[in-house]
Amino acid sequence: MSPLFEMLKKIKARPGMYIGRASVSDLFMFIVGYRTAREELGIEPTETELDFYGEFQPWLQKRLKITTSNSWARMIEFGCGNEKDAFERFFELLDEFLQHDDRAIAPPDDSVNLLEVS
């Protein structure tokens, strides 16, 4: 599994420990910072990470039938009404995104369903 998705699994299980609270906006900012830090260190993203960074937003707009310049976090929050529910919904949508059949890049064989956290 890619480092990003390993980290997201940990965040889902214990959001308070990693981002302070179960908040889709805080999660969005964490992911932006995570990506930036790895780029600054010269660490190449995996194909699945590149797919997420480049395709999740357009996929979500199509999935939710929304055209907007807002972040994916704001789109999800708009549909949920609050940060905590949107945080939980993000993981449902991410799992759907990674499993979608007509996607160009499938999740890695060793991927773990992000909805299943022990």
- Is the pLDDT confidence value at 100 over 90? no
Q: What is the pLDDT of residue 1?
A: 74
Is 83 domain-assigned?
yes
Is 107 domain-assigned?
no
- Is the pLDDT confidence value at 64 over 80? yes
Mean pLDDT within 74-83: 93
| The token pair that represents 66 in the structure block | 């929304």
Cα(28)–Cα(25) distance, integer angstroms: 5
Which residues have C-beta within 8 Å of that of residue 46, sequence separation ≥ 6?
A: 2, 3, 4, 108
Is 81 domain-assigned?
yes
Q: What is the pLDDT of residue 88?
A: 97
Is 55 domain-assigned?
yes
Span 14-53, pLDDT tens digits? 999 999 999 999 999 999 999 999 999 999 999 999 999 9
Domain count, the chain: 1
Domain assignment of residue 58, given as a range: 3-99
